[in-house]
Structure formats: structure tokens, C-alpha cells
Structure 1
Amino acid sequence: MSESTSQAEPFNFGLDYIRVHFGNNVALATQQKTHNLFRQNPKPLADHILDCLDLTGREAVLDLGCGNGFILRDVVSKIRHGGRTVALDISPAMLELAKRNVTVSWAPLAFVEGKAEDLSRFDDGTFDRVMANFIFHYITEPDVVCAEIARVTKKSGHAIVTIEARHSMPEMYKMHFDAMAEVGFPADFIERLPRTRRGKMVLDNAAEYLSRHFESVEERPYADALRFDTTEPYMEFYATGHKFCGAKAMAGEDFPESMFDQLYANVEAKVKAAIAERGYFELSKQNSVFVCK
């Protein structure tokens, strides 16, 4: 095991991480499956997002950071004659998955590889609707992206930005970091990991950022919780969907696999104990969609 550097900078979850983390569908699909199977809010978040888009079907729509097309396919199915959709993502692997997942498209649909920071391929006011769902966790220059979103959105249209609160799922993070310390991961390695949802622009300051670029910003909250009455689906969500809250990706070759086996077992035991005590283990979640005009 290598020595960790004391007082080191927090780990960089930037472009390289994005391309690896979203190089296949495993992590993202696991999160999506878990959110939809174990949500306590009867209304799916995707439906809340679609309500905020307020589509007639004749709009030109940009999906900025389309991922595997989970929400895109619902949007595309509503677009009819006179409308069109452009799906943009930084990951070629995600674009390929989106192409396979979006099986019904009545109107023109284009897939484009690109960065949210540079939408120069599109003229001012190109789109009636722009949606950016959960991309700001990975954006280092939020004002640049917000400005580009505002620029390509028609004055008569609107953009939506979906963000998860920084302190969403605190139960997962507390349990994770308690277990890391108990297993014996070095304190300075632990300190370099994000202890909450990351990103410069988060739910608490999103309205401030967006208001610099739009005349009107309305927040439409979506509160939820994920409730587990057995350990298996939670452990899949934690270890596969979130890759041990990012610790696995940042560990590299510094720590043996056995340490992550111990971490898994420690967290699993804590979840079992919580379920035995309450009958379930629950993660509280808070998302908001910001409607920007």
C-alpha cells in the first residue's frame, strides 16, 4: 500500500473521471433502476422533469448531457411534425447507449458528441427547450455552461436544469465514511473524497448562478426517499451504482481489493442492523428542477 500525501488537494472528478465512470452503462443504469424501484414519491422524477419541459411536441429540443437516454426517450416520443431533438453528451459510450435506448422517434433526432461548455455549433436562439439534467456535479465552470444554455435558448422558450441537493443521501455518506475509518483507510485519503454530492453549482446556489443568465428562474422541488427492506439492492446501489461513493475510482492501485471487500462487509452489516431495528433503511433525497426563461 502506498503512502498517502497529507494535506493533499481533494480528488479531481473531472473529464477523465467522467469518461471512465460513464464508459459503460453499469453505474448509471444501476442508479436509475434503484431510484425507480425503491422511490417513495409515487410520481417518477422523469415525469416531474417532463412536466417542467411543458412540451407541445413541435419544439426544437436540446438534451444537454443525455447520458444513456433514460429521459431522452420519453421526450423524443412526444415530439411530432414540426419538432426535432438534439442529444449531446461528452461520452461516446453514452451516446451509443442512448441511440440503442431511444427506439421510437417520430421526428428528426440527432446525436452529437460535445461539451456543455462549448455549444458554438449552435446559433443563438436555436432551441425552444434545453434540458440539462444532473450535469452540474461535473462542471467546473458553471457560469460558462449557464451562459451557453441561455444563448441557445429562444426568448420565447425556456431551459430546465435539474440538480440534486449537495446534502442529498446523507445516510449513505455517513455510513460510508464511518466504515472507511473502521476498516483502516488512511485519514488523508478519506479527507480527499467528496463527503456530499459534488459540484460548484448545487441546489443551494443554483438560482443565484442561473439568475445571472436568465430573467426568470423558478425552482420546482422534488422530494423523495429510497427505502430498502433488504440489504442486496442497497449494496448494489452503493458499490456498483456509486462505486463506494467515488472511493473505488480514486483508489487506483494504492489499496488491495481486500480492503474494499472489508468495506463492503462493514457497510452491509450496518445496513442489516438498521433494517433489523426499523424494518427498513432509508436514504433521503432532494432534487429540484429550475425552469429558466
Structure 2
Amino acid sequence: MAASSAQPFHFGLDYIRVHFGNNTALATQQMTHNLYRQNRETLVDHMLRCLDLTGRETVLDLGCGNGFILRDVVSRLRHGGRTVAMDISPAMLELAKRNVTVSWAPLEFVEGRAEDLSRFPDGTFDRVMANFIFHYIEDPDLVCGEIARVTSDDGFAIVTIEARHSMPEMYEMHFEAMEKVGFAPDFIARLPRTRRGKMVLDNSAEILSRHFGSVTENPYPDALRFETPEPYMFFYATGHKFCGARAMAGDEYPESMFDQLYAEVEAKVKARIAEVGYFELSKRNSVFVCR
């Protein structure tokens, strides 16, 4: 495909509030990652090991989402512990409130942006979690600086990041199908061909080291393996909204185009499963412990 001078689509604040305006996409991704993972340990258990909680920490969950990780954290706190859960999306905060049903220690929900933690004094928290928020952060240094500022001297932060080229099999198949179905080259060229974000696995240690004295990477390699096409297609079309294409199409393309795209990708997945017995997405995540 010839190079295009069109600017890439912007997946900024408006996109975030729409994409995370309900639980459908996020819950679909979480369910799929847990059901079809090949790593014996869940990613949440990996994060919890990295958090190394005694139960008496003050914790900030920055970008708590629907509370999927938060509920495991707060259930481990006891007398002396406290959690603040922050998210930019009011809808996600409401979901988190409903999902976190067991909390032995104080738990507060606040709406806010990771770029501005000015409501918290320096060194407020023994643990700060920032899990998968950097896909949507325009200024990683600003956010990392704020995380470092509110982390206590004897505490630490964990930052969970997905590799830019995670799940390449999904993107390769997706773009081949888009071209075959007939989406305009300029539209295709504006879409992300990998995981989004200015801070990804390749540069996370470098950026975090500008704000913390010690940064340790704890890799979590995994793969999602599908033996039938239906769960993958749900993950692709509902969880990832056709790799962002559906959200950016607006009224430019009729729904019938996405029906064709769905059918083309489904045919490719079925062919792969018929050939080797499964369709697999390779994934790379890491949890960075920052002191």
C-alpha cells in the first residue's frame, strides 16, 4: 500500500470517554485474556506479587477502570490500609463501585486525570498502580513525574505496559482484510498498526528512569489461543472494535462494510484453525516496579 500523508487518527480524551463509557469493550478484553491465556498465572496475580502488599499500605489505583484489578487489591488490605481509586471516566468509576464488593479498609473513588494529581500532597501513597493507562497518555513524562511525586520515599509504584507489537497476528490479519474488502487506503493508513501509546514496552524503562532511582522490569509473556473462531471474533469486533476502525469510521462507511470485514477475518481465522488446530495471538506485557 502506498504511503499516505494523512495524519493518524487521534485516540484522545473524547475517544477515551466514549470507548470507556460502558463496560462492553473492557470487560470483553478482560474475560478473553483470562479464559484463553496460555500463561498458568493470571496477569492480576503477577501484578499482586509485584505489589508485595502487607495490607497496611495506602494505595492509589490510577486509571482504575471497572475495578477488575482494584477488587483484588482492596480485598488484601486491613486495618491501617487505605485505597484511592481514580479514573477519567465517570461511567468506569460507577462500574468499579459496583464491582468492588469486599473492602476491609477505607476506599475512596475520585474522578480525575493522571496528568494532574495536585489534590494529593507529596509522598501520599505507599503504592501507586498505573495499569495500561499509557496507551492514552500524550505526555508520559508529566504523568510519570506525578506518580513519582505522590509515591512515598519508602514505597514504590507499579506500571503495567503492553508491548507495541503485542498481538501482531490480529493486526496483520485485520489490515489484509480491510484492503481486500475495499476500505480506502488513506483511511487504512491513519489507523494504528500496533498497540497505541507514546510510552510502550520498548521505551518504558528509559522514561521511568528519568523519574525513579530504581526501575525493575517483571515480564509477563503470554498467548491467547482460540480453538474455535467465535471467541476470537467477539474479542476482535467487540473488545477491540475492529482494531479501532469502527470508532474512527463514523458515517464514512456503512455497517455493511464492517459486516464484510467481519466475514473476511472470520474466514481467515477458520482457515488457520483448520490448518493447525488453533489461532493464537502472542502477547507481551511487563510490570515495572519503580522506586
For normalisation by structure 2, the TM-score amounts to: 0.99
Whether 2:164 is the aligned partner of 1:147: answer: no
Q: 2:172, 2:138 → 1: CA distance? A: 25
Alignment of 1:1-293 (within 5 A): 7-293=5-291
Secondary structure of the equivalent of 2:269? helix
- Deviation of 1:105 (Å): 0.6
Secondary structure of the equivalent of 1:78? coil
Q: 1:155, 1:288 → 2: CA distance? A: 23
Q: 2:6, 2:272 → 1: CA distance? A: 34
- Note the residue ranges of structure 1 that are not aligned, 5 or more in a row: 1-5
- Deviation of 1:212 (Å): 0.3
- Deviation of 1:288 (Å): 0.2
String of CA shifts for 1:14-46, please: whole Å, max 9, x gaps. 100000000000000000000000000000000
Q: Quick one: percent identity of the two aligned structures?
A: 82
Letter in 2 for 1:102: V
Q: 1:36, 1:284 → 2: CA distance? A: 14
Letter in 1 for 2:166: S
How many corresponding residue pairs? 288
- Deviation of 1:59 (Å): 0.1
Letter in 2 for 1:125: G
Q: 1:278, 1:73 → 2: CA distance? A: 38
- Deviation of 1:84 (Å): 0.2
Secondary structure of the equivalent of 2:75? helix
- Deviation of 1:178 (Å): 0.2
Which segments of structure 1 move beyond 4 Å, counting only runs of 4 or more? none
Secondary structure of the equivalent of 2:176? helix
- Deviation of 1:8 (Å): 1.6
Letter in 1 for 2:204: A
Letter in 2 for 1:64: L
Q: 1:29, 1:20 → 2: CA distance? A: 15
- Deviation of 1:234 (Å): 0.2
String of CA shifts for 1:62-105, please: whole Å, max 9, x gaps. 00000000000000000100010000000000000000000001
Letter in 2 for 1:62: L
Superposed CA RMSD in Å reads: 0.4
- Note the residue ranges of structure 2 that are not aligned, 5 or more in a row: none
- Deviation of 1:247 (Å): 0.1
Q: 2:288, 2:105 → 1: CA distance? A: 27
Q: 1:124, 1:78 → 2: CA distance? A: 25
For normalisation by structure 1, the TM-score amounts to: 0.98
Letter in 2 for 1:46: V
- In structure 2, the partner of 1:3 is none
- Deviation of 1:7 (Å): 2.0
